[in-house]
Amino acid sequence: MAARLPGFGFSGKAGRTAAQPITYLMRIAVQRKDLISLAAGLVDQKTLPAEEMRRLTQELLADEAAGKEALQYGSTEGLAGLRQALLEHVCKLDGVAAEDLSVDAHNVVVGSGSQQLLYIVADILVEPGDIVITEWPSYFVYTAAITSLGASVRAVDMDQDGMQLDALEAVLAELRRHGELHRVKLLYTCDYHQNPTGITLSQPRRQGMLEIVRSYSRHGRICLVEDAAYRELSCEGVAPRSIKSFERDNAQVVLAQTFSKPFAPGLRAGYAILPDDLVEPVLNQKGNHDFGSSNFVQHLLLRAMRSGIYARHVAMLRQRYRQKRDAMLQALQQELGDFEPGKTFWTRPGGGLYVYLTLPEWMDTGREGPLFRAALAEGVTYVPGEYCYGPDPRRPVPKNHMRLTFGTVSEQAIFEGVARLARAIKKVSRSRARQVAAGVREAELP
């Protein structure tokens, strides 16, 4: 018998990187077919553009030269034509000209999902001990990435208009007072139909946020990462302009967008518009990751954009998600409209995939809490709000929220799922009321 080998010497980063909590939620959704998952942030399966992709693939491969070019390695930054098309696309969404923002196609990088670019931007700027400012709550995959890089989060409260600017200013002023401003490398905002709350940063706050970040960047430039993953899924009114579009000198805003939510996540394609100084460092890291995202997929996406397939698909999705959003809001009103009024409420997103539900403070929505168990017994899952906070060492994590998604489930399943959830909530509430009546002390209550 060979001698038993000692364990691997894992890196500090590996030690700081935990499994994503959502993995568990996805697994039980796959295992239990009876379960309605209001947790999984997948897009609507029925809407995925399978037929369009079949046609585009056939067309591409029917042209032998074009097909072979697409099957060859591409470049690290991405297909030139696609990057130009993406720049024009973003400028059109914002109603601005690229020159006004001091950007051209060389500032556009295509990634293997926007996640890759969000990660790389953090990776090239953040060192262990640094600070990243986020909304409170925030997108848990991003805060997990920040944690794995050894940074801590300083969170800023939100209201129905997104991150509160006076609170942001207060956080930055405090960091300056304590001599910690130089450690702040990034401000991350998911500013359209935020994951997890569905809230959009209001138009008036956009320029204000940029001005604040700029005014605290005199001694060390803070990068403002604008994660606009859900931007094109607005289903009400006109979506606000990006923060990026207010920046004339392309100095500090990274705008990240994706094909995942408005088209097809299986293609794993996203893109970012980067300040000049970040282009090369990002590409150097991306070279280490994959020296270029799928060239084949990029050729297909360019055709999807040029042919109008992409634009038509987005228009269809907006309508579809609007119906589902309406179904979820109606179901919540029906099932929970009279449950502890004032203490139970939810967001009313103008698009995206998520509604954020707040319950009375005593109601623990955590995975180990009574509500999650009761919900599983009823046959429904949600994302416990506790995953979406922090890690901000200064703040206790609130336990009484949850993220609900209307992306992947049918309207019928939305109504049934919310009904199951409401039954679970009311069951936990009745059980607590019985315990209170029986004189159980506060500290021993669930």
Ligand X SMILES: Cc1ncc(COP(=O)(O)O)c(C=O)c1O
Q: How far is the CB of 175 from ligand X (least distance, A)?
A: 25
Least Å distance, CB 444 to ligand X, is: 38
CB nearer ligand X, residue 115 or residue 358? 115
Q: Which is nearer to ligand X, 107 or 258 (CB)?
A: 258
Distance (Å, rounded) from C-alpha 163 to C-alpha 149? 24
| 139 vs 321 by CB, closer to ligand X | 139
Smallest gap from residue 300 Cβ to ligand X (A): 16
Strand order from edge to edge, sheet including 131-136: 108-111, 270-273, 253-258, 223-227, 184-189, 131-136, 152-159, 162-163
Asked if 223 and 254 touch (Cβ cutoff 8 Å), the reply is: yes
Pairing of strands 253-258, 223-227: parallel
Residue whose CB is less far from ligand X, 143 or 358: 143
**Torsion angle, CA of 313/328/159/90, rounded to 10 degrees?**
0
- Cis bond upstream, residue 262 (ω within 30): no
What is the smallest separation between the CB atom of 47 and ligand X, expressed in angstroms?
Answer: 16
**Nearest CB to ligand X, comparing residues 191 and 386:** 191
**Element spanning 188, H or E:** strand 184-189
Q: Is the dihedral of CA 285, 290, 292, 297 positive or negative?
A: negative
Return the residue matching tokens 């097809």: 264
Single out the residue of 351, 300, 362, 291 nearest to residue 326, CA to CA.
351
Q: Whose Cβ is closer to ligand X: residue 42's or residue 376's?
A: 42
Residues near ligand X (CB under 6 A) = 41, 113-115, 139, 190, 195, 227, 229, 258, 260, 265, 270
